[in-house]
Amino acid sequence: MRRGSLIAGLVLLPLGWAFSGWGMTGHMVAHMIAVAVAAPFLAFGVQGTRLDPAERWPRLATPLIAALVEAVIVWGWHVPALRRLADHTPLWLAVEQVSFLAAGLLLWSAVLAPRHRAAGIAALLITSMHMTLLGALIGLAPRPLYSHHGAGALEDQQLAGVIMLLVGGIAYLCGGLAMLGRLLKGHEEVHA
């Protein structure tokens, strides 16, 4: 099962990155696939191995620290000046996408670590909230915030915001709720 998860994550990454040149909407699809879809598959696939960030860097890979790192990276790359840099320079686009993946992998590895169940739930719910907020800010902005020019720039940005709001918000919320269910089930078994 872990091997299949690892393969699924590795297959999803280039699929997502293929969209990154398709305006703001393509950027958001690539971003969401990296942090909210491929990263959990990869984290589950490497869990407990020497490649597991939670095993390699236990002080950094705690849920709340990882959630903070992920939030800084996600919000930072959505500052218009950095977004413009990534849009117009292939090297910076690659740095951006790798940093999204690294942040997502760090977060999901931290929350999946057995020693962090309750903190993992909190980290995923906090991440769900900030992804939803950033998606709403991007989608509801009254003017284009980014360097995509043309008649469809605002509509492209609005669709990108909706994608972030839905995929980011839902993926982290569902992850947090699934972990809460596992925690409660384990708690019931201990007290039965």
Tens-place pLDDT, residues 130-162 = 999 999 999 999 999 886 656 678 999 999 999
Tens-place pLDDT, residues 27-76 = 999 999 999 999 999 999 999 999 999 999 998 899 999 999 999 999 99
Structural domain spans, the chain = 3-189
Burial class (CB in 10 A: 0-12, 13-18, 19+), 43: buried
d(CA 170, CA 120): 16
134 and 94 in contact (C-beta within 8 Å)? no
Residue 41 to residues 17, 143, 188: CA-CA distances in angstroms?
A: 16, 36, 27
Say whether pLDDT at 192 is over 60: no
Closest by Cα among 97, 96, 84, 93 to 146: 84
| Token pair recorded at residue 119 | 């903190």
* Residue 115 pLDDT: 81
Per-chain mean pLDDT for the chain: 90
